[in-house]
Amino acid sequence: MRLDIQCLRGIAILLVFIFHLFPKVFINGFFGVDIFFVISGFLMAQNLTKSEVTGIKDFFSFYYKRFRRILPLYYLVVFLIVIMVHLYLGDYLWGNNNRYSVASLFLVTNHLVIHDQMDYFSEFVVVSLITLFGYIAFAMAMDKFAFNFMLLRLWQFSAGFMAVFWNRMRVNMCPKEKEKPGNHIIGHSNSNNDIFTLSLSILGLCLLPNQNNVLILRPLITMCTAFIIASEINNYQILSSKLLGYIGDISYVLYLVHWPIIAIFQPYNIQDYVFVTAATFLSSMFLHHVYEKKYLKLNSKNLTILLLTLMFGNAFLQYSIRNHTIWNKTYSGDLQEKIDANKAQLPFSWMHDLSDHECSEKKILEDSVLEENNLGCGTCMRGNGSISMMMLGNSYVMSLKNYIRDQFHYNYSDFHFCSIGGGNGFYMDSPASQRAINFYQREVELHKPDVLFLLSRHPPPMKDPIEHNKRDIEQMNKNIKYYEKFVKKIYILGAHPLYQHSFVDFFLQNVINRPEVPETLHLDRRAADNEMKFVRKRLSMVECEKCEIFELTPAFLYADKYLTFDEEESISYVDNTGHLTSAGLKLCDPILKNITKEIMRTI
């Protein structure tokens, strides 16, 4: 294996590792995955062009080599991870991990064969077009989906193919150049070295602590990696480093083990980070030398026996963790009470609300698309007052509905609500949200409530800078103006911090494993406010005489942080989906009481 490619592998895995270890510092480290894809594409194309794949035998031979390299280590690591999960993580985390560990035992592979007819120019054109159009498809898809969906990654494999076929084109056009030590990809040594240096510098952008434009940097890194591989320049110290080359050698093991170690032993202080780093590299080195290098030397018979043993071992382990009591975990009485109190708030606070039986839901019969996203639309028990109320929005309606209703102590007449996924009440960011707003407007016109609450977790586009033409602001005001025609007062939920996904799971791990839960689990006020600054700016541009924007953030503000849990009771204010728990809603009591008093006084 070429040392420069192994060094590139080393760079790629280090970028991925530091990104997972310090996600708020090395926020561009995920580009290491892009480097891996290009390297994989190059090696795949090189293997396919060296050995013709013409029949079933060649096909199986090609995949046998891949499986021989990948599967024995993969199945062993899966086996070890399942054991570590049940030894070190709480049973509240087992459900998802057990499900995904079963899925991980079944592999899906992609097969791409390019017939080597020595027409490298045609092949270069083909893979160049695949790269171009593949990137366009990648750019048009949602970020997280595109990052994980293999078919939208083929353009980066194709970039590796381009490196192979570019080299073959040069050799075919100038066969004698292959023998010369000064052979350059562009034809002029200075230009070649300058572009090579620039390409390495662009890879260095992955270390910047500032978020870069992914749609610009991703194709740059992809093309620069392909250029570096195609250049085959070995006089750069960083690509001839024995240390980086060694890290490249253990990169596959490192890639498999680093994230489970980080996720299980979540680091929060210097000692934690040192332990996680040491554990990752030492375990990778151990598995590489003691296991990986050994099984690669096995003949096909012994390798098959090893694989079958690992498969049966994994199958038995999956059965055992579901049926044997040996895996059951016990905690001290006080700790178990804290765990149970937090688990009792899951999955959503409104599913445990005792007053929810007073509300009935209906189907959205006139729109099947909205019905698919219907989280709950209907009415609650009629009160003994004279004020009619309505709540519209997304899942925050379900989260806040009963808690706000309880503040009135039945001092209302009618109470209508509708919660639709993607239905933001007044801001349109998709066709689905537009359909929801149209439905909301019909509901408001039909029921004509005295008080309208627009309760939403604001969509990502509201966090983006405001466009010069302010079209979204105009549309937002137009929607609110429509509501104004039929209501006396509108309350709009203001900007609220976004919480870490699966927060309760992370929180409980700290409750179990640390005598004092780290304050870093609270939200930094400055960072949270900065994330929502454009949401607040948009809301400040609302033109509405009957509107009042209220925020719940003051209830969680303490010094320079937004609290996410009660430090004395060790109970979370947030569930795993970013909604407030019952404990979190109780903190909002003074704010909601003031709104209730204002409504009773003015309406």
The lowest-confidence range among 248-262, 443-457, 515-529 is 515-529
User: What pLDDT is attached to residue 399?
Assistant: 93
- What pLDDT score does 53 carry? 57
At residue 573, does pLDDT exceed 80?
Answer: yes
pLDDT, greater one: 46 or 219? 219
Q: What is the pLDDT of residue 229?
A: 82
Helix (H) or strand (E) segment spanning residue 122 = helix 120-140
For 176, the token pair is 């004698």
pTM, to two decimals: 0.73
CA distance 395 to 457: 8
Enumerate the domain spans of the chain.
30-52+115-239, 362-497+532-552+590-602
**Helices assigned H by DSSP within 141-153:** 143-148
Higher local confidence (pLDDT), 56 or 281: 281
Q: Which two tokens stand for residue 463?
A: 């966090």
How many Cα neighbours within 13 Å face the side chain of 99? 3
Q: Which residue would you say has higher pLDDT here, 82 or 108?
A: 82
Residue 170 confidence (pLDDT)? 55
Mean pLDDT of 418-444: 92
Determine the Cα–Cα distance for residues 44 and 474; give it in Å rounded to an integer. 52
pLDDT at position 265 over 50: yes
Determine the Cα angle at 426 with ends 364 and 398, to 5°. Answer: 55
Q: At residue 118, does pLDDT exceed 70?
A: no
- 128 pLDDT band, cuts 50/70/90, is very low
Q: How many other C-beta atoms lie within 10 A of the C-beta of residue 399?
A: 25
Backbone angles phi, psi at 580, to 5 degrees: -70, 140
Average pLDDT value over all residues in the chain:
83
Tens of pLDDT along 152-206?
445 555 665 565 555 555 555 555 554 444 445 444 455 667 778 888 888 888 8
Per the rule left: phi > 0, alpha: psi between -120 and 50, beta: everything else, 210 is: beta
DSSP characters over 14-54: HHHHHHHHSTTTSTTGGGHHHHHHHHHHHHHHHHHHHS---
DSSP sequence for 298-346? S-HHHHHHHHHHHHHHHHHHHHHHHH-GGG-----HHHHHHHHHHHTT-
Please provide the size of the chain in residues: 603
In a 13 Å sphere around the CA of 269, the CA atoms on its Cβ side amount to: 7
Query: What single string gives the DSSP state of each residue in 356-414?
Result: GGGEEE---TT-HHHHHTEEEEEEE---SSS--EEEEESHHHHHHHHHHHHHTTT--S-
Map tokens 């990502």 to a residue.
Answer: 460
The per-residue pLDDT for 161 is 57
Q: CA-CA-CA-CA torsion for 460, 464, 468, 472, nearest 10 degrees?
A: 20
- In CATH terms, the fold of domain 362-497+532-552+590-602 is Rossmann fold (3.40.50)
Q: Is the dihedral of CA 572, 578, 582, 585 positive or negative?
A: positive
Q: Return the pLDDT at 111.
A: 35
Q: Do strands 415-420 and 489-493 pair parallel, antiparallel, or not at all (unpaired)?
A: unpaired
pLDDT, residue 134, reads 41
DSSP-assigned letter for residue 560: T
Largest CA distance in the chain: 96
